[in-house]
Amino acid sequence: MRQRVRLRSILWTSTNMLETPGFGFTILAFLLVLGPLVFVHEYGHYIVGRWCGVKADTFSIGFGRRILGWTDKRGTEWKIGWLPLGGYVQFAGDRDAVSQPDAEWQSLPAEERSHTFPAQPVWKRAAIVAAGPITNFLFAILILAGFAWVGGKVVTPPVAGAISAGSAAETAGLREGDRIVSIDGRAIETFSDIPMAVAHRPGEVMQLRVLRAGSERTVTLAPRLVTEKDPFGKEHQRAIIGLAPPPQKLEKVSILEAPAVGLHQTWQIVRQTGEVLAQFLTGRRSIKDMNGPVKIAEISGQAATLGLASLIFFIALISINLGFINLLPLPMLDGGHLAFYAYEAIRRRPAPPEAQEWAFRFGFAAIVTLMLVVTFNDLGSIGVWDGIARLIG
């Protein structure tokens, strides 16, 4: 999904055109982004599983045949698979990497059975499953808190420093010095909150509460779509209302305040991710806007080219998206497992095995379809389909 408004703002701070990173550099940057995030996610499952007394048979970064690995003193195989597009923890009693119960777990000796995943009470299983996405959020909060502590936080007031000619803001009658109080009921605290609220909503009519000369008024406008080039010459579209910011202000953040800043920024990104997902589900945004691993790899290379800070920020952004997506109530994802555990907690018994089996088949088909769609979009965004069309033509 296109949750890169903040990253693009970093990319656009440079006015000089940069050379597009090479294939090898891009792949390396992609692995530097994805590898730690997969480890963090799966380690969340693993460590909470250990705290709950569940034995982990396998901890894998990547899928497929093992290219590197070892077995620790607890009997857990730690390995790296040849396909670095995810990972998994397979607990004792699991049939496969998506925690489907093994039919043989109930026939194990009592002591061994007590350390299997299916034998745990529902609250423990839910805690183990939820730990992965939660760890992704905590990891992002830690990164963003670190940025706030080192560099401070932007506190530029949401005041129009200037109004762009012909913009939606000018048409709506906004003036220089107007303060944006809220957008569709969403409180606006700093100027950076404005692009976060409008960049993904081109053409949507929204209500702005504006403070002018001590009194508030409501202004109606619709953000307009603009096309801009990043420092690598790539064109990107986003919605704007045409407000230029006043001079930027930074505020120092203490080490005790930094986690709260990181939490607030993480919540903003989660909220925006949810809004974009709702647009996809309601048809207000085309599935052509969905991006996947290829696009993430491309942006990883660009972020790494701009420096370590940009790459680390991008890691935080992807960590938030990874946590959010995994909480969606789709079978095979962590959210799907949590949905079944909620059913079990309410009904006092698990969902029928047949229902679970069909749900997981549906989830597998849905995820495969989604991966095909986003890969098709990604290849189009880097010019593969245009190149093939030129060859055929």
pLDDT tens by residue, 341-371? 999 999 999 888 888 888 888 888 888 888 8
Q: Which of 42, 275, 298, 344 is catalytic?
A: 42
Beta strands in the chain (DSSP E): 56-71, 77-91, 153-154, 162-163, 179-183, 186-187, 206-212, 215-221, 224-229, 235-240, 243-244, 250-251
Domains: count for the chain: 2
327 and 363 assigned to the same domain? yes
Task: Pick the more confident residue, 3 or 245.
Answer: 245
- Read off the pLDDT band of 11 (50, 70, 90): very low
Q: How far is CA 243 from CA 159, 195, 220, in A?
A: 9, 9, 15
Listed in sequence order, the residues at least 6 apart from 117 whose beta carbon sits closer than 8 Å to its beta carbon are 49, 54, 91, 92, 93, 94, 99, 101, 125, 128
Q: What is the average pLDDT across 176-186? A: 94
CATH number, position 233? 2.30.42.10
Does 177 lie in the same domain as 64?
no
**Which amino acid type is present at position 125?**
R
Residue 26 has pLDDT above 80, yes or no: yes
Quickly count helices (H) and strands (E) in the chain: 12, 12
Query: Around Cβ 344, how many Cβ atoms within 10 Å?
Result: 16
Is 275 within a domain?
no
Q: Of 251, 267, 285, which one is at a domain's C-terminal end?
A: 251
Residue-level pLDDT at 385? 63
Tell me whether residue 276 is in a domain.
Answer: no
Q: Does 243 map to a domain?
A: yes
Q: Which of 251, 269, 288 is the last residue of a domain?
A: 251
357 in active site:
no
Using the CB atoms, write b or e for 187-218: b if 16+ within 10 Å.
ebebbbbbbbbbbbbbeeebebbbeeeeeeee
Residue 295 lies in a domain: no
- pLDDT of residue 178 exceeding 50, the answer is yes
Residue 14's pLDDT band (boundaries 50, 70, 90)?
very low
Pick the closest to residue 125 from 100, 148, 162, 156 (CA basis). Answer: 100
**Most confidently predicted of 104-118, 250-264, 326-340:** 250-264
Lowest mean pLDDT among 15-29, 131-145, 164-178, 320-334: 15-29
119-173 per-position pLDDT tens digit: 999 999 999 999 999 999 999 999 999 999 999 998 899 999 999 998 999 999 9
Look at residue 3 and tell me whether its pLDDT is greater than 90. Answer: no
Per-residue pLDDT band for 5 (boundaries 50, 70, 90) equals very low
Q: Note the helical H segments in 220-352.
A: 258-282, 293-306, 308-326, 334-347
Q: Are residues 29 and 111 in the same domain?
A: yes
291 occurs within a structural domain: no
Looking at the fold, whether 169 and 142 belong to one and the same domain comes out as no
Is 15 part of any domain? no
Specify whether 83 is located in the same domain as 186: no
One domain, residues 199 and 139: no
Name the pairing type of β-strands 179-183 and 186-187: antiparallel
CA-CA distance, 7 to 43, in Å (whole number)? 27
Using one digit for the tens of pLDDT, what is the confidence trace for 218-268?
Answer: 999 999 998 887 777 777 788 999 999 999 888 999 999 999 999 999 999
Are both 196 and 115 inside the same structural domain? no
Q: Are residues 55 and 129 both part of a single domain?
A: yes
One domain for residues 118 and 190: no
Whether 338 and 384 share a structural domain:
yes
**Can you tell me which residue has the tokens 């010019």?**
383
- On whether both 127 and 216 belong to a single domain, the answer is no
Q: Are residues 49 and 91 in contact, defined by beta-carbon separation less than 8 angstroms?
A: yes
Pair 47, 119 in one domain: yes
Q: Which residue range(s) make up the domain with 385?
A: 23-146+323-392
Distance CA 111, CA 149 (A): 48
In-domain check, residue 274: no
**At 16, is the pLDDT very low, low, confident or very high (cuts 50, 70, 90)?**
low
Question: In the 8-state DSSP scheme, what is residue 175?
Answer: -
d(CA 55, CA 197): 45
Of the residues 197, 227, 251, the one at which a domain ends: 251
| pLDDT > 90? residue 285 | no
**Percent of residues, the chain, with pLDDT higher than 70:** 91
Decide if 266 is inside a domain.
no
Greater confidence (105 vs 223) lies with 223
